Structures are given as structure tokens and as C-alpha cells.
């Protein structure tokens, strides 16, 4: 099984978290995003969207990070990250979908402007930063209220929902994501960051532009 990824990619991080937590042996292949390798013919043959991550399981090629997470959980006997009952799975799927539609894209705007552009010597667009920060405030408030009376996002235990959402906050510090007002969210993120899987998937320091 091979995982094509990039260590600074939040989408890659959520899959790596799943791999580490489940203890799945995976050959890791870095796709050099700065050099445009994701737009080359070999990678486009794996994923026509030109994105990471991509999983190749003996010829079964799967892209979309949350689909990969679910696939890895489903093929791991005894796992607890993805419920087996219909309502439990729907609960986790609800938050995976919400992450993909709302929280992660909001974070990505500010990460791109405040972090990714700095890596390539570009200046952030203040209008985009403001747009991203407004979206983060809107969606983080939803997550913060949800976490006010629970330790984990779904099912009262660690699930794929936590790993998916937390990966979107992996660069919260260097990207200056505005999450200081959301105490419950920050406490939850701290719990995720104490996981061995989180510590083992920490990316290396970003190279200078």
C-alpha cells in the first residue's frame, strides 16, 4: 500500500493521522508540490485533480482524504475510529462532510494567504485574509458550541471526525488562524495534539522561500 502525500498538506495530515492511529503499514511517497510534481503526468494518472493525498492499495487507487480515511478504517479489524452501526456512521459522516464543506476550506484560505504564500515569497492578499477570518469565525463558533459539553466531536470518543477536523488546524500557529476566542475548540485541539498519532505526523520545518 502506497500513500502519495505532502507533509505540509492538511489533507495529507488527516490520512497520516489515521494511518498512525490504526498502525497500518504504508509506503509513503512525497509529492513535491513546490516543484509542481502534482501537475505532472504520473501524478495526474493517479488523481486527475492534481491533488494529494492519493492511496494506491495494490492497484485500487483512491483519492479524497476523507474517503481514504474511511477506507482505511473499514479495512482494519477492531478499529473504533469509524462506528459500524448506521447512526454512529452517519454521525461521523455528518462531521466529515461539514469539515470538508465549511471548516477546512475556511482554514485553507488563511493558511494559503499567511503561510503558503510566505513560502514562495508572495504577499498575502488582505481582502482574502479578511474573508477567510470571517468564515473561520462563523464556522469555529459552531464547532466551539458543539464542544462545550463534550470532549470529542462525535460518539463521545475519538473518531475520524476529530482527526479530519484537527488536521485543518495543524498550521494554526504559523498561519495565524483566529481561534483564540474559542476556548472549547482550543481545549479539544489540545486533546488531539496529545495523541501519539499527532506527534508522529508532525511535519518537518518548512524550508525558506
**Nine-digit cell string for 15:** 490520512
Where does residue 9 rank: exposed (0-12), middle (13-18), buried (19+ CB within 10 A)? Answer: buried
- Is residue 5 within a helix (H) or strand (E), and if so which, with residue range? strand 2-5
Q: What is the mean pLDDT of residues 113-139?
A: 97
Structure pTM? 0.96
In whole angstroms, give the CA distance from residue 78 to residue 94.
22
Q: What is the mean pLDDT of residues 12-23?
A: 98
pLDDT reported for residue 209: 44
66-125 pLDDT, tens per residue? 999 999 999 999 999 999 999 999 999 999 999 999 999 999 999 999 999 999 899 999
Which of 62-66, 118-122, 183-187 is least confident? Answer: 118-122
Question: Domains of the chain by range and CATH?
Answer: 2-74 (3.40.30.10), 86-200 (1.20.1050.10)
Question: Is the model's pLDDT at 208 over the cut of 60?
Answer: no
Q: How confident is the model at residue 206 (pLDDT cuts 50, 70, 90)?
A: low
pLDDT reported for residue 203: 85
Question: Is the model's pLDDT at 25 over the cut of 90?
Answer: yes
Amino acid at each position: 500500500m502506497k500513500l502519495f502525500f505532502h507533509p505540509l498538506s492538511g489533507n495529507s495530515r488527516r490520512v497520516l493521522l489515521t494511518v498512525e492511529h490504526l498502525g497500518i503499514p504504508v509506503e509513503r511517497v512525497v509529492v513535491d508540490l513546490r516543484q509542481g510534481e502534482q501537475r505532472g503526468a504520473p501524478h495526474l494518472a493517479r488523481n486527475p485533480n492534481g491533488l494529494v493525498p492519493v492511496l494506491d492499495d495494490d492497484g485500487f487507487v483512491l483519492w479524497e482524504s476523507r474517503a481514504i480515511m474511511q477506507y482505511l478504517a473499514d479495512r482494519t479489524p477492531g478499529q473504533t475510529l469509524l462506528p459500524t452501526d448506521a447512526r454512529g456512521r452517519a454521525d461521523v459522516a455528518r462531521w466529515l462532510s461539514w469539515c470538508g464543506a465549511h471548516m477546512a476550506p475556511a482554514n485553507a484560505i488563511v493558511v494559503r494567504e499567511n503561510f503558503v504564500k510566505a513560502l514562495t515569497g508572495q504577499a498575502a492578499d488582505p481582502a482574502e485574509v479578511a474573508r477567510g477570518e470571517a468564515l473561520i469565525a462563523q464556522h469555529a463558533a459552531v464547532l466551539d458550541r458543539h464542544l462545550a459539553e463534550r470532549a470529542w466531536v462525535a460518539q463521545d470518543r475519538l473518531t475520524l471526525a476529530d482527526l479530519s477536523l484537527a488536521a485543518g488546524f495543524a498550521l494554526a500557529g504559523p498561519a495565524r488562524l483566529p481561534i483564540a476566542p474559542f476556548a472549547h475548540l482550543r481545549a479539544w485541539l489540545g486533546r488531539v495534539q496529545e495523541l501519539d498519532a499527532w506527534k508522529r505526523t508532525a511535519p518537518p520545518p518548512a524550508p525558506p522561500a
